[in-house]
Structure 1
Amino acid sequence: MYPPAWLLVVVALTFGIIARICVIIAFPKDGASRRRDQKGTCHLAVFLGSGGHSSEALTLVSTLDFSRYTPRTYLLSEGDSLSATKAVALERLKAASKQSLDPIGEYQILTIPRARRVHQNLLTIPVTALRSLLASFYYVTLAPRLLGDSSKADVNVILLNGPGTCFVLCVAAYINRFLGLPSPRLVYVETFARVRTLSLTGKLLRPIADKFIVQWPNLLQDGGRGECHGWLV
């Protein structure tokens, strides 16, 4: 007796999805946006994880040439008004300096629901994580297409350094790769506070980030992938 046709279809789709995921994980850069021309601009998105994470991320961004890394998108968790204020202050400082010819208007601040709150009940985390993923999927995948000119709206690089919500952003980027759409390159910089062991977010993103950077060489003693360029913040 042969199995029903619907079962064969389900099995074939399951194997196809698994195979596609394996290829994307094995060759993560194949789905990422191609390297821009040296004279071209790069749409940079930066996740501000609040507190020390935001300060570190903004310190990294402050060293960049804003006339090249434009436009800029600051992604932050809902309720984090302090990070938004710091981002605006950095933009005004760069616009007022002679180091940047880029007008102050070439940036935007977007809010993403938190994937997990401190002391949140474990049973409710799947709900908040899904809400965060849907918002990230909208910004990374749907919004560029809805704007009508995805070549200008697509983010080229996402800079991350934690905490957990940035993992959801990476999942959204990988959805693009699964669908064969342009996907931002993922650059993860482990927080300066992590000296001996990686953070949970770092452990999750180490296999899938296009660039995984730590600031302390001890974090690479296990022989895993990653780069160390010393103190960056």
Structure 2
Amino acid sequence: MFLLILALAVFVIYRISCTLPNRKHAVTPAKTKSLAVFLGSGGHTSEALALISALDFNRYSPRTYVISEGDSFSAQKTCELESSKETTTCPAQYTLLTIPRARRVHQSLVTTPPTALYSLLLCIYYITFARTSFADVLILNGPGTCFVLCIAVYVNKFFGLAAPRVIYIESFARVESLSLSGKLLFPFVDRFIVQWQQLQEKEKGAEFHGLLV
């Protein structure tokens, strides 16, 4: 029994090490890519949509916007953006996907694990079972529920299933230090982008491409 547990532990560690991102690995650009973006409500949503609005919607299609339950602001702003981008040559091709919050505002730490687990299971369902391919690229910029999305992606990677490349873009407001979400996700995302050069100098492996929003 001990040897079986040891072998299982070694296998799990090996698979996790295989799925950790190699940020030096070159990726051949495709003509079109499906895109998913998590909208964290409030300022996070405004920043994420500002980033997305600069993209060529003909190239990044279809698009999936992941929002937390009860976040009517993000849903409204998404529809406004898509309507402003829609043309006869670029019809709106997007989906709004609602997931449970991993932790509600003012929720106690004692009751958080069950809600976080429920959120994780739903994310795994949507990424793994709900459609043929969730997305080629997943963009995250916080807050906490995006960590659950990243774990769901790694469940697919662990079992060798199709999984999107994950890009984390740190908030414009983080000038000197990473956010908690950024610190948690730094080792797991394929690309980690910050918006201030002094922050990039502190965090080895982070990218800086100027102010993005």
TM-score class, shorter: over 0.9
Is 2:67 aligned against 1:87? no
Unaligned runs of 5+ in 1: 1-5, 145-149
Q: Is residue 2:38 matched to residue 1:58?
A: no
AA in 2 matched with 1:79: G
Q: Which residue of 2 aligns with 1:187?
A: 167
Give the letter for the 2:76 counterpart: T
Determine the C-alpha separation between the residues in 1 that align with 2:126 and 2:51.
Answer: 23
2:154 to 174, 180, 190: 174
Answer yes or no: is 1:119 the counterpart of 2:110.
no
Match of residue 102 from structure 1:
90
Tell me the CA shift for residue 36 of structure 1.
4.6
TM superposition shift of 1:107 = 0.6
Residues 47 and 166 of structure 1 are in contact (CA less than 8 Å); yes or no, is this contact kept in structure 2?
A: yes
TM-score normalized by the length of structure 2: 0.93
Q: Give, in whole Å, the separation in 1 of the partners of 2:43 and 2:199.
A: 19
Counterpart contact for 1:186–1:211, Cα < 8 Å:
yes
Secondary structure, aligned partner of 2:64: strand
* Residue of structure 2 equivalent to 1:3: none
Match of 2:12 in 1: 17
Q: CA separation of 1:154/1:77 partners in 2, compared to 1, >3 Å: closer, same or farther?
A: closer
> In the alignment, which residue of structure 2 is the partner of 1:131?
118
Instruction: Give the RMSD, CA atoms, in angstroms.
Output: 1.7
In structure 2, what is the Cα distance between the partners aligned to 1:35 and 1:170?
23
Partner SS for 2:111: helix
> AA paired with 2:166?
L
Matched, 1:207 2:207: no
CA separation of 1:218/1:84 partners in 2, compared to 1, >3 Å: closer, same or farther?
A: same
Matched, 1:197 2:177: yes
Amino acid at match of 1:85: Q
SS of equivalent residue, structure 1 residue 76: strand
TM-score (norm 1): 0.86
Amino acid at match of 1:78: E
Aligned partner of residue 162 in structure 1, secondary structure: coil
Measured in 1, the distance between the counterparts of 2:137 and 2:71 equals 22
**Which stretch has the larger CA shift, 50-59 or 10-19?**
10-19
Q: Could you list the per-position Cα deviations for residues 88-137 of structure 1 after superposition, in whole angstroms to 9, with x for gaps in the alignment?
A: 010000004xxx82212x11000010011222101111111101101110
Q: Distance in 2 between matches of 1:189 and 1:26?
A: 16
Contact persistence 1:29–1:185 (CA under 8 A): no
Q: Measured at CA, do residues 141 and 28 of structure 1 come closer, stay the same or move farther in structure 2, by a change above 3 Å?
A: farther
Larger relative helix fraction: 1
Within 5 Å, which residues of 2 pair with 1:153-168? Answer: 153-168=133-148
Q: Which residue is 2:2 aligned to? A: 7
